Amino acid sequence: MNELLAVLICVAGGFAGGIVGVGGGVLFVPALTIFIGLSQVEGESTSLLMIVIVALVGAMRQSSYGNVNVRNALVIGALSPLGVLAGVAIANHVSERVLQLSFAALALFFAYRLARRALAAPAR
């Protein structure tokens, strides 16, 4: 049953993220921790793995349109493991509650930025 629920969460999160224009992790992590019962670290790790798959598919599709700057992508790809190592080290040394509150603060920050951008956009 958890597998079916996970599939539904992924489809709903991907759809909502695509409609609203936010990354799926903002939706996936809370859904995985609340509805599936994963810990914060498990939810974030699972979301990161899903992002890799989605990014690969998106990059291939956008590359066919000529929208990918390969040089920048290679630089980001080469430096990302450093950020991952730092994030894993931090996640392993702080409590799960700190991770949850940090994620909530980040989600609120992104919501604020989205709302601010939407309100500042010129009317069409």
pLDDT of residue 110: 87
User: What is the enclosing helix (H) or strand (E) of 97?
Assistant: helix 96-120
pLDDT of residue 86: 92
3-state secondary structure of 60: helix
**Measured between alpha carbons, how far is 87 from 41 in angstroms, rounded to an integer?**
11
* Domain coverage including residue 29: 2-120
The predicted pLDDT at position 64 comes to 93
Count of structural domains, the chain: 1
What are the Cα distances from residue 103, in Å, to 37, 58, 66, 107, 119? 16, 25, 34, 6, 24
Tell me the one-letter amino acid at 9. Answer: I
| Residue in 40, 62, 39, 42 with CA at minimum distance from that of residue 50 | 42
Listed as ranges, residues in the chain with pLDDT below 70 are 1, 21-23, 124
Question: Of 79, 91, 86, 71, which is closest to residue 29 (Cα–Cα)?
Answer: 91
pLDDT at 45: 84
- Quick: pLDDT tens for 94-116: 998 998 899 899 989 988 998 99
> What is the DSSP secondary structure assignment for residue 65, as one 8-state letter?
T
Q: Give the closest residue to 13 by CA, choosing from 44, 39, 47, 56.
A: 47
Q: Is the pTM of this model over 0.75?
A: no
pLDDT of 52 reads: 81
CA atoms lying within 13 Å on the CB side of residue 27: 20
